[in-house]
Structure 1
């Protein structure tokens, strides 16, 4: 395990001050805003490397990264694996909102009752068939239902993850935001939400205004 003050960005990247602060912050939730191509995904990868190498994300706790697109979630996982190796990368779960919602449904399906109850072999299809099939759009709302009604499910998620990354958070829908709140509001998990400077990013309860810092393009000059 590496001491916090000895960590440096992997691949010899030189980060500008706000980016370095975002990668190494240990106490606050952060909102990072930057334009396209500024290196937001790279900051998340460097932050994951910092959290895991220094033990700030203490074993067996994990990091949850949520993106809107499948390729974005795969990209982040690949970057973390490249920088920290497969052992550290194994403690990062990188999903889309819908994939994360489905994982919650699959694990805690029995918490759904009444009209929401699902058979063990349920499927995801074009139409809702009670007990047998749900639509793609229902994954997140059903996951929220589970978390809001099952203390067991909610505690299991909170005991698993100590740090959360939210990519392109300005595009978050009400249902997706409800999922994040049901999982982590008042849980003690540290969140980093990144978004585009040209779009309004949603506030997070407990986030310090001082921790919302614009980020310029990351320098990739070798040290």
Structure 2
């Protein structure tokens, strides 16, 4: 990766005297560093008044930690502590709701949301898959505006969705909020003039990372919490979370109206020219800015991109595992990623890599690898007897961790805990206690730069990350693009996100055949983007 020396366009955004600034930042263009420089400029130039703060908002916990680290490196711990608050979005919403719950008659001891509760509630009720998905979509729809629980009930009754109504009753009886409730109530609270004034008098500026991942509801929260100055950085063509409620087109339209300065970045500090040729092969046809390497000569010479075609998924898995592990062995400081669009396509590869024990290996869908959580679990496990039944050990561990998190507005941590308990259940051998399982589980600390070794992940988990070498597998129709979204423009964006994680080298691959869920083999047409990728490689 080329060292970031801010170019003219970046400095235009960093030192802008306008109150509302929009920055379009394609992958690898130094987005996070630009935001850190903007924070430093605002603080050192006296734009954040004494007693007030700059609010930096990210979409995920990992991005939040990275942002905090970057800002602290520029401002130092003392100024950062005095002037800057860095939160991920659910952390901000949770903080608002915790502080002002009684304003809306919400019990202050409400239970924070987790991913699991909806599925558990539906299972309790005994609903089928199709009705479950319909109810989930209905609840997301009705909760996407600042309305009360009474109004929610009225809309659900009017729609005739009895399952959604029943789930709501289960949620309230358990004194629980789901993710959308947290956002909805935070928005409702910021529509109360007295509450909004508290935040507006507290925050002199807001920095928003990855604006394309926001919904209009979340955008409303940000702009009500801070009205003075806003810097919004992101890329509409990296908007791949519409399934989670993101509205990139609507948010960018609102930002065009709001912002008086717009800066478009086009210099990549992350990737080699060869990698960028492949990224541009997908990005430019869908409207992305053509990216150029900041210093092409810094990358040296040699072949760093390839396109492979295999007869079967097993052949692909064997060769890609050999190449990825080979790089990790030859270059112990290199971070190597193998990325699939979806987890189901990774089966043969995961099995091939599971036997590797001489290089660091991380599967990113394992919650126990999440930074900080393993330490909390080990502390909570102290004194839990291995002679107890495993389920009793897991229950005690879960309760202790939840107690330790009480009052914490970090929703992501509470959510990941449920996944971690499930993984401990799967990993435990017969007669093994939770302390022994935790003792043989390694911690991995990942910010924006992955540690050395081989990393295996899906497209959406890789967003915001970077690796020395990247292998993107499964470039067949039905996987890239996904069979459920063949004409969805987000599929091209998801591919661009996967490709643009690479710094030095990039390999793409496909198989001529794939296995069906019944175990039979069928022909797999090449992805619609394969020809242009292969030509660029």
Q: Greater RCO between the two (CA within 8 Å, min separation 6)?
A: 1
Residue 200 (structure 2) pairs with residue 158 (structure 1)? yes
Of 189, 194, 199, 2:233 maps to 194
CA RMSD, aligned part only? 2.2
Shift of 1:177: 1.8
Residue 98 (structure 2) pairs with residue 56 (structure 1)? no
Of 180, 184, 192, 1:137 maps to 180
Aligned to 1:39: 30
Aligned residue-pair number: 200
User: Relative to structure 1, is the Cα distance of residues 42 and 129 closer, same or farther in structure 2, using a 3 angstrom cutoff?
Assistant: same
In the alignment, the residues of structure 2 paired with residue 212 and residue 194 of structure 1 have an alpha-carbon distance, to the nearest angstrom, of: 10
Of 50, 57, 65, 1:66 maps to 57
The secondary structure found in structure 1 opposite 2:237 is coil
Shift of 1:27: 2.6
Q: Is the contact made by 1:169 and 1:194 (CA closer than 8 Å) also made in structure 2?
A: yes
Structure 1: 5+ residue runs without aligned partners? 1-11
Shift of 1:107: 0.9
In the alignment, the residues of structure 1 paired with residue 204 and residue 211 of structure 2 have an alpha-carbon distance, to the nearest angstrom, of: 19
User: Relative to structure 1, is the Cα distance of residues 175 and 137 closer, same or farther in structure 2, using a 3 angstrom cutoff?
Assistant: same
Q: Is the contact made by 1:118 and 1:131 (CA closer than 8 Å) also made in structure 2?
A: no
Residue 218 (structure 2) pairs with residue 176 (structure 1)? yes
Q: Is the contact made by 2:205 and 2:230 (CA closer than 8 Å) also made in structure 1?
A: yes
Aligned to 2:301: none
Post-superposition Cα deviations, 1:44-98, rounded to whole Å, max 9, x if no partner, equal: 0011111112212121221111111111111111111111111111121111111
Structure 2: 5+ residue runs without aligned partners? 119-170, 239-248, 270-293, 296-537
- More divergent stretch after superposition (211-220 vs 134-143): 211-220
The secondary structure found in structure 2 opposite 1:45 is helix
Shift of 1:218: 6.7
Shift of 1:179: 1.4
In the alignment, the residues of structure 2 paired with residue 177 and residue 18 of structure 1 have an alpha-carbon distance, to the nearest angstrom, of: 25
Q: Is the contact made by 1:16 and 1:218 (CA closer than 8 Å) also made in structure 2?
A: no
Shift of 1:197: 5.5
- More divergent stretch after superposition (50-59 vs 139-148): 50-59
TM-score calculated relative to the size of structure 2: 0.35
1:70-149, aligned counterparts within 5 Å? 70-90=61-81, 91-112=83-104, 117-125=105-113, 126=117, 128-129=171-172, 132-148=175-191
The secondary structure found in structure 1 opposite 2:85 is strand
In the alignment, the residues of structure 2 paired with residue 97 and residue 49 of structure 1 have an alpha-carbon distance, to the nearest angstrom, of: 22
- Give the structure with higher Rg (CA): 2
The secondary structure found in structure 2 opposite 1:153 is helix
Q: Is the contact made by 1:26 and 1:56 (CA closer than 8 Å) also made in structure 2?
A: no
Q: Is the contact made by 1:118 and 1:130 (CA closer than 8 Å) also made in structure 2?
A: no
Q: Is the contact made by 2:207 and 2:230 (CA closer than 8 Å) also made in structure 1?
A: yes
Post-superposition Cα deviations, 1:83-120, rounded to whole Å, max 9, x if no partner, equal: 111111112111111110010001111111xxxx3222
Q: Is the contact made by 1:63 and 1:162 (CA closer than 8 Å) also made in structure 2?
A: yes
Q: Is the contact made by 1:119 and 1:131 (CA closer than 8 Å) also made in structure 2?
A: no
Q: Is the contact made by 1:170 and 1:202 (CA closer than 8 Å) also made in structure 2?
A: no
In the alignment, the residues of structure 2 paired with residue 131 and residue 63 of structure 1 have an alpha-carbon distance, to the nearest angstrom, of: 36
Q: Is the contact made by 2:56 and 2:207 (CA closer than 8 Å) also made in structure 1?
A: yes
In the alignment, the residues of structure 2 paired with residue 28 and residue 55 of structure 1 have an alpha-carbon distance, to the nearest angstrom, of: 14
User: Relative to structure 1, is the Cα distance of residues 107 and 216 closer, same or farther in structure 2, using a 3 angstrom cutoff?
Assistant: same
Residue 214 (structure 2) pairs with residue 214 (structure 1)? no
Post-superposition Cα deviations, 1:106-138, rounded to whole Å, max 9, x if no partner, equal: 1111111xxxx3222211142622582211221
User: Relative to structure 1, is the Cα distance of residues 177 and 71 closer, same or farther in structure 2, using a 3 angstrom cutoff?
Assistant: same
In the alignment, the residues of structure 2 paired with residue 102 and residue 198 of structure 1 have an alpha-carbon distance, to the nearest angstrom, of: 29
Shift of 1:43: 0.3
Shift of 1:213: 1.4
Q: Is the contact made by 1:34 and 1:197 (CA closer than 8 Å) also made in structure 2?
A: no
